[in-house]
């Protein structure tokens, strides 16, 4: 999918998922010392999660297909004096980055892919994640009231990230994904996945 439909989400004010702060799950990971090495924020949007992690002292690359979101992210980084790299890239072709990272964030990206797109996305993530690296996935849950669009089950997560394609799901915990339409966030899963 080209970036045009995603880019339109940012052109008339904040996108539904753009809450002006990092996701609570990412702040908890930071507080628990869960980041290591170079960090990739896949589908970084306007950059709040990437900026939060970079402010902790990590080298962070944020990628998105929405140029307007990237421009907003770069402006925030400059305004806050935080060193983060934001570039346009297709999450289904991360191999084109020609980089390796130790930690990957996926906040609200996995659930946007159809079942037939997920294997390609998982392979794309594997192409940039070092063995032993960690992927954190925050996605809409299929359980609970007022679920977000494209909800995902734990079984779908474990099916997508398995030993056959170089991953091992370490944990899937119930969480919340903050949006502009949910007062206390939408029901979510927070998955910790290891690259094996």
196 residues of the chain, pLDDT tens digit each = 444 576 777 777 777 788 999 999 999 999 999 999 999 999 999 999 999 999 999 999 999 999 999 999 999 999 999 999 999 999 999 999 999 999 999 999 999 999 999 999 999 999 999 999 999 999 999 998 888 889 999 999 999 999 999 999 999 999 999 999 888 999 999 999 999 9
- With H, G, I as helix, E, B as strand and everything else as coil, classify residue 190: strand
pLDDT, residue 14, reads 75
Phi, psi (rounded to 5 degrees) for 51: -65, -40
For every residue of 93-150, DSSP letters joined together read GGGGG---EEEEEEES-GGGS-TTTHHHHHHHHHHHEEEEEEEEEEEEBSSSSS--SS
pLDDT, residue 35, reads 98
pLDDT, residue 9, reads 73
Q: What's the predicted TM-score (pTM) here?
A: 0.94
Q: Which helix (H) or strand (E) holds 186?
A: strand 186-195
Question: Is the separation of the CB atoms in 123 and 162 below 8 Å?
Answer: no
**119 alpha carbon, distance to own chain's centre:** 16
Neighbours of 9 (CB within 10 A): 17
Number of separate helices (H) and strands (E) present in the chain: 6, 7
- With H, G, I as helix, E, B as strand and everything else as coil, classify residue 155: helix
113/186 Cα distance (integer angstroms): 18
Exposure string for 110-132, b = 16+ CB within 10 A, e = fewer: bbbbeeeebeebbebbbbbbbee
pLDDT, residue 130, reads 98
Q: For 63, which DSSP code?
A: E
11/32 Cα distance (integer angstroms): 35
pLDDT, residue 4, reads 54
Identify which of 71, 69, 25 has the alpha carbon closest to the alpha carbon of residue 49. Answer: 25
Question: Is the separation of the CB atoms in 10 and 68 below 8 Å?
Answer: yes
């Amino acid at each position: 999918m080209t970036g045009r439909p995603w880019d339109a989400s940012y052109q008339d004010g904040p996108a539904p998922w753009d809450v002006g702060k990092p996701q609570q799950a990412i702040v908890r990971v930071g507080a628990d010392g869960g980041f290591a090495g170079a960090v990739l924020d896949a589908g970084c949007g306007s950059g709040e999660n990437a900026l939060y992690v970079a402010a902790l002292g990590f080298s962070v690359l944020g990628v998105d297909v929405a140029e307007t979101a990237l421009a907003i992210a770069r402006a925030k980084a400059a305004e806050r004096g935080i060193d983060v790299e934001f570039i346009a890239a297709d999450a289904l072709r991360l191999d084109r980055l020609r980089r390796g990272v130790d930690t990957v964030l996926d906040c609200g990206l996995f659930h946007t892919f159809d079942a037939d797109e997920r294997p390609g996305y998982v392979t794309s993530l594997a192409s940039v994640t070092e063995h032993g690296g960690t992927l954190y996935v925050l996605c809409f849950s299929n359980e609970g009231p007022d679920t977000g669009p494209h909800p995902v089950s734990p079984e779908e997560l474990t099916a997508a990230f398995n030993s056959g394609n170089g991953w091992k799901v370490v944990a899937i915990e119930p969480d919340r994904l903050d949006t502009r339409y949910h007062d206390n966030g939408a029901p979510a899963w927070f998955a910790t996945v290891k690259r094996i």
